[in-house]
Amino acid sequence: MGEVKFSGISWTHDSKGFFYSRYPAPKEGENVDAGTETDSNLNQQLYYHFLGTGQSEDILCWRDPENPKHFVAGGITDDGKYLVLTIGESCDPVNKLYYCDISSLHEGLEGFRNKDGLLPFVKLIDTFDAQYEAIANDGTVFTFLTNKDAPKYKVVRVDLKEPSNWIDVIPEAEKDVLESVYAVNVNKLIVSYLSDVKYVLQVRNLKTGSLLHQLPIDIGSVYGISARREDSVAFIGFTSFLTPGIVYQCNLGTETPDMKIFREISVPGFDRSEYEVNQVFVPSKDGTKIPMFIVGRKNINLDGSHPCLLYGYGGFNISLTPTFSVSRIVLTRHLGAFYCVANIRGGGEYGEEWHKAGALSKKQNCFDDFISAAEYLISAGYTRSEKLCIEGGSNGGLLIGACINQRPDLFGCALAHVGVLDMLRFHKFTIGHAWTSDYGCSDKEEEFHWLIKYSPLHNVRRPWEQHPDQPLQYPPTMLLTADHDDRVVPLHTLKYLATLQYVLCTSLEKSPQTNPIVGRIECKAGHGAGRPTQKMIEEASDRYGFMAKMLGVSWIE
C-alpha cells in the first residue's frame, strides 16, 4: 500500500477489506526517495481496499479538492453499520464529522467498484469549532467525547434523526481532564481522567453517565485500553516512572470489577524500591504553577552536586505523563542523576486552556515555564547550572533551541532532537502547514512578529557581546536529526547548526565559543517512530555519553 501517511485502518465486519487514508501518487517521472521529500502533504483522501486486489482497484470514498490541507479518517462503528468520517484542518483538537450508513448501500461497497461517485455521507458536524470522537452507538443514537463548550472534555449524546438535540451524559469536570472513554460490557464505560498529570480510572453507566466504580491503579499513565462493547473483559495498559509496563485484565461482569495482572514487563537488575518520584509545582515567571516530576535514587543529599536531565515538550495539546525509560533509569543508577519532566504550558495536562496558554502569541510562556523549572532545580539543591542538561524533541527541540538562545548561562548541556527551528518557513515543508494552529504563520504580519521574537534560527546571538561583564558562551549542544525525517525535515537542524557555527565561530578570528556544538544525523531513519532497537540504543548511547562527558560525570557501578 503506497502513499499511506497519517492513517489508521478500519475493517468492515465482513472482513473483506478496510478503510484507510492516503495521498495522491507522485506524478510520473517524479522518482523521489520516500521520506526525503519536502513538498507539502496535500489532498489526503479516504479509500476502501478489498483484500486480494491491487491498490489500483481501491474505492475512492471521500476527497475534497477545494480543501487540500484537510486530513481525513474513516472508522467503522461497533455494530458494523456506519462509517464515521472525521475531517481535520490542523493540529488543533477540532474536527468535522460525517457519517454513511453502509448497511443501506443497495449493492454494498462492491457496487462502488466501477462508479466515479463518492460514498453518500451525511454531514452531522460541518464546522471546525470542537472535537468529536465517536464512542458508541445504539442504532441512530450516538455517544461522543467532545470539547464543545468544555475545554476539559465531556461525553454527549445525539440521535441522528434529531441532529440538533444534544444532551450531556458526563458533564465537564471542574479540574480533571477527561482523556478517553471506551464502551464495554454492553452498557458500561471505562473512562480515564488526568488529575494533576496522574491518571484516574472509573467505570460509569453508558446511558446515564453515573459513576459506578473507581478502578485501583498506581500513580502513573494508562497508555491503552482494549475493549469491545460486547465483552465483559477489558485490557488496560499501565506504566509509570518506576513501572516498566503492566497489562491489567479487568472483568466488569462481576458485581465489583476484578482487576488482575495479565502481563508484566520485568527489567533485569531494576529494583524500584531504590528510587523515588516526587512531584513539585514550580511558579513560572507570571506566577502560574507548573507541575514537574523528579525521579532519582532515594536518600540523595540535595547539595547541588548532582547531574540532572530536564525534559520538556509544551505543545499541540500533548501531555507528558509518567512513563518508564530504561536509558533514563541508567542515568539515575549509574550517573547519580536526577531525571525531571516539566509539564509546561502548551501541553494538554489541564485541558484546552492550558494548551492555548502556550500557543500562538503566548508561546513564550513555554520557554518561561521551562526556564523556571530549571532555576527551581538549582535553587532547591538538586543540581547546578554546569551539571544541568536539557532535552526535548520535535516541538520540544524548538523548546531547547529557544532556551539556549535566551539563557545560554543556565545550562551545562543541551540535547535537541528533530527540532522545529526555522519558525518563519516551517509551514512550507511536508505537513508543517498543520502546525500553524499552534505557532501562527509568518505570512501574516501580526503572527510574523510573534515568531521572529523566538525562532531559534533567527535569534542566535553572541552571549559574550550581550553580557560583556561575564565570560558567557553557548552550552555544549547536540542537535539530532535523521535523513528521512519527513515530519520535521532535517533542514531545520542543519540550518540552525550552520548558523550557530557561523555566528559563534567561523565569523570570528578568535571565538570565545569553546564548548562543542555537534550534529548527529541518523541514516535511513525518520522522525523517531518505528526506529529499530539497535538504532535507538546507539542514539541513546551517543547523546547521554555526550551529556556525561560535558557535565563531567563518572560511571558508578
Residues designated as active site: 394, 485, 527
Cα Dmax for the chain = 81
What is the distance between the alpha carbons of residues 246 and 252, in angstroms, rounded to a whole number?
A: 19
Choose among 309, 460, 466, 284: nearest CA to 362: 284
What DSSP string describes 508-527? SSS-S--S-EEEEEESS--S
CB contact at 8 A, 120 and 106: no
The residue type of 457 is: L
Kindly tell me the burial class for residue 519, based on how many C-beta atoms sit within 10 Å of its own C-beta (0-12, 13-18, 19 or more). Answer: middle
Choose among 356, 367, 458: nearest CA to 410: 367
Task: With both helix axes pointing from N to C terminus, report the angle between 326-334 and 533-551 in degrees, rounded to the nearest 10.
Answer: 30
CB contact at 8 A, 421 and 495: yes
The three-class DSSP label of residue 421 is coil
What DSSP string describes 184-238? ETTTEEEEEEEETTEEEEEEEETTT--EEEEE---SSEEEEEE--TT-SEEEEEE
CB contact at 8 A, 369 and 289: no
Q: Which residues contact 404 (CB under 8 A, 6 or more apart)?
A: 390, 411, 414, 474, 475, 477
504 DSSP assignment: I
Write 512-517 long-range contacts (CB < 8 A, 24+).
Answer: 512/464, 512/471, 512/473, 513/462, 513/473, 513/474, 514/473, 515/473, 515/474, 515/475, 515/476, 515/477, 515/550, 516/476, 516/477, 516/550, 517/474, 517/476, 517/477, 517/479
What is the distance between the alpha carbons of residues 299 and 276, in angstroms, rounded to a whole number?
A: 9
CB contact at 8 A, 290 and 344: yes
